Amino acid sequence: MRCFRCLVLFVSLAVALGEQGYCSPSSHAKSGYASWYSTDDQEGTKTASGVPLDDEKMTAAHPSLPFGSLVRVTNLETSQTVVVEIIDRGPYVRKKRWRVIDLTQAAFEKIAPLERGVVPIRIEVIVYAAIPKTRNRQI
Predicted pLDDT of residue 4: 45
Predicted pLDDT of residue 102: 96
Report the number of distinct structural domains present in the chain. Answer: 1
Predicted pLDDT of residue 39: 78
Q: Helix, strand, coil proportions of the chain in percent (round to 5)?
A: 25, 30, 45
Per-residue pLDDT tens for 30-50? 999 999 998 776 667 889 999
Predicted pLDDT of residue 8: 42
Print the domain residue range for 106. Answer: 25-127
Predicted pLDDT of residue 92: 84
Low-confidence ranges of the chain (pLDDT < 70): 1-28, 41-43, 95-96, 130-139
11 within some domain: no
56 within some domain: yes
Q: What is the CATH number of the domain that holds 47?
A: 2.40.40.10
6 within some domain: no
Nearest to 36 by CA among 115, 98, 96, 138: 115
